[in-house]
Amino acid sequence: MNTKREKLSLLADMIALARIDGAVKEIEYRFLLSVARQLEISKDTLDDLFTHEVENVPLKPESERIVQFHRLVLLMNIDHSSSPEEMEKIKQFGLRMGLNPVATNRVLEIMHRYPDNVVPPDVLIDIFRTHYN
């Protein structure tokens, strides 16, 4: 999949989002740990990301950027609440990743229609496909 630098960058973005409300909740940490394991990043390395900055490494393929955006949306909603600050941060991440802002806004708009605000992957892909640059 990605290089270790890319994986650490992905996790650092997710940690930044989890910290928006001041503290990382246990459920958010468990989600981060699950993603780290999927990315083959150790718990110790994940824990180090909470105290050490890493270089932001942009993902090349749009499909990987969409997957990361989906992870961010899942993380934002894992505690069943999303603040305006989290919504704004997600939008900023989407822009920084070079994703279509209309598509990212559409995902954030319709997520409330689904149980636990989890937009099904096929719906998410269709939204981005519709708004492909």
pLDDT tens readout for residues 17-41: 999 988 899 999 999 999 999 999 9
For the chain, which residues make up each domain, given as ranges? Answer: 4-130
Residues 6+ apart with CB under 8 A from 8: 41, 45, 49, 54, 57
What is the model's pLDDT at position 79? Answer: 85
Of 3 and 133, more confident: 3
Topology of domain 4-130 in CATH is TerB-like (1.10.3680)
**What Å distances lie between residue 87 and 33, 60, 68, 104, CA to CA?**
22, 24, 15, 10
Please give the mean pLDDT across all residues of the chain: 93
Examine the pLDDT at 133 and tell me if it is beyond 90: no
124 pLDDT higher than 80: yes
pLDDT exceeds cutoff 60 at 69: yes
Residue 46, Cβ density class (10 Å: 0-12 exposed, 13-18 middle, ≥19 buried): buried
